[in-house]
Structure 1
Amino acid sequence: MANFPDRLIQGYKEFTSSALETERARYKELAEKGQNPSVLIIACCDSRAAPETIFSAGPGELFVVRNVANLVPPYAPDGNHHSTSAAIEFAVKGLGVKDIVVMGHGRCGGIQAALSNDGSKLDEGDFIGKWMSLLAPVAEQVAATESVMTPAERQNALERVSIRKSVHNLRDFPYISEMEKDGSLNLHGAWFDISTAELWVMNGETGDFTRAES
C-alpha cells in the first residue's frame, strides 16, 4: 500500500469500526441479491456536493452518476464513448429506476468556467472544453445579461438553467420519453446551495425552483 493516501486508509478504518457494524447485514444482502435503487441522481463531481451525504443515503439506496457540472449530453448513439449516457441507460433499463434527479449546486467551477469571457479556463485540457461546450448556447445567453446582473447572479442563473437543459436532454432519449409519458419514470431537477446547505427543487411544469422543507 505504499503511497496510498493515508486519509483514505484512516477513513476506511473509521468505516469498519463504526458504520460497517450497523450496515454489515445490508452489505451482505446487497452482495447476494444485487442492488435495487429506485432513484438515479446525476450530480456534479465537486467534492462539496455528494448526493449520498445530502440525502442521508445508505448503501444500495441511490444510483449516482457524477460528472463535471452535472450535465446530461444529448442523445447521440454514435461510435464515441458516452459514459454518462451509458450509466443512464443502465440505471433505467437495467435497474429499473423510477426517478431521475439532475442535481446542480452553488459555486460550481464548471459553470463559472463556462461563463468566462475569454474561455481560457476551458482551454487548458484535452476534454473539459469540449464537455462544457454542451452549455455554450445557454451560457452565451446568460452572459449577455452582464449589464443587469452581477457575476454571482449570472452564475446562479446558469447553474439552474443548466439543470433545466439537462432534464430537457433526458427527454431526447427515446425510452426515457416513452416511460415519462406512460408514468413509469419521473424526471426532476434540484439545486444545492453549498454555503447554506439549502436544497431547492425544480417545478416540473414551470421550471422554477423552490426551497425544500428541512
Structure 2
Amino acid sequence: MQIDNILVSSARSGTNYFLSVFQKICPDAWVAKEIFRQGGDSLALQVALLGGNENDLLDSVKDDPLLHWQNIVSSCAAENRVALAKVFYYHQPKSSPLWAHFRNNSKVIHLIRRNQFDVFVSNLIAQQTGKWQQFGLNEKGIDIKPIHIDKNSFTAFLENQQMYIEWMRALFVNADYTEVFYEDLASSTEICARSIADIYGLKTNISDISIELTKQKTRSNADLVSNYADVMEMDRKYF
C-alpha cells in the first residue's frame, strides 16, 4: 500500500467519518486531520512522529508545508507505516507546491458531498453550536435552533464549491486520483469500509466495524430550516 496518501475535501463533507473508518481497517496507519490549516490539527500525533514541540510544528507548516509533509511521509516510511492526512481546498493557496506534490506523488482521495445544501446547513449548525464534531454513541444530542437560509448566500457558497471541485478534477486528471461521494458511504460503516478496501486494494475483515464518531445532524433539513418552503428546490444533489 502506498505510504503517501491525502484526502481532499471541504468542511462538513464527511472527512472525519472517512478517516475514522480508515483507521479501523488500517490500525497501524498514521492518520491525521487538518494539519495544513491555520492553527494546525493533530498536533500531538505530529509531535509523536516528528519530535519537537507544537509551536515548532506550526512554524514548519507555515514556513514550508511541502517539506513538512515530506518529513511526515519519510518518517512514516522509516516506521513502515501508511500516512494519510486531510486537506481542504482552501487550506493552501492554489500556487502552493504542495498541490503539485500531491498530483505527482500521492494517492489522492477526493471526498465530495453530492448535496451541497446539506453541507451549507451543516456548516451553519456548527457555527451556531460551536461544535464541529461529536464522539460517543451515548452523547447527548445538540440543541439546534431554527436556521434561516438566505438564497443568495447559498448560491455563492455553491458556486465556490463547484469552482473548487472542478479545480481538483482538472489538477488531478492524470494523477492517482479517486472520487468518492459521501452519500455512497454514509449508510453504514461496513459500506464505507468496503469502499476504502476497494480503493486501496485491501483484503481485510470489515464486518462489525464501529467508530466513536456520531452524526451531529440527525434531523431533516425540512425540520431544521425555518424557511424551508422557500428554499426546498435547492435541497438536492449537485454532483
Same fold (TM over 0.5): no
TM-score by length of 2: 0.32
Which of the pair has the greater relative contact order for Cα pairs under 8 Å at 6+ separation? 2
TM-score by length of 1: 0.34
Which one has a larger percent strand, Structure 1 or Structure 2? 1
